[in-house]
Amino acid sequence: MNRLPNLTPKKLEKILRKQGFLTLRQIGSHLHLYHPIQKIRVTIPMHNHDLKRKTLTTIIRQAKIKL
């Protein structure tokens, strides 16, 4: 995988929604998204700073998407 860009949780949420993910629920500062066709759940920590690379990598791997 190439070097990942710095992404805020809002930008990542927008990317996942374009991939077909829907909001399942939000508990506190964590947004839970669900893809109805692939049956995948992903959790995004909705904080005001960029996501750490390891967190971003894990979310991308769980969502089975390519940037």
Please tell me the predicted confidence (pLDDT) of residue 65.
86
Length of the chain, please? 67
Task: For domain 9-63, give the fold.
Answer: Metal Transport, Frataxin; Chain A (3.30.920)
Q: Quote the pTM value.
A: 0.87
Q: What angle do CA 39, 45, 46 make, to 5 degrees?
A: 115
Output the pLDDT for position 51.
94
CA distance 11 to 38: 22
- pLDDT tens for the 67 residues of the chain, in order: 568 888 999 999 999 999 999 999 999 999 999 999 999 999 999 999 999 999 999 999 999 987 6
CB atoms within 10 A of CB 19: 16
For helices 53-63 and 9-18, the axis angle rounded to 10 degrees is 10
* pLDDT (0 to 100) of residue 42: 97
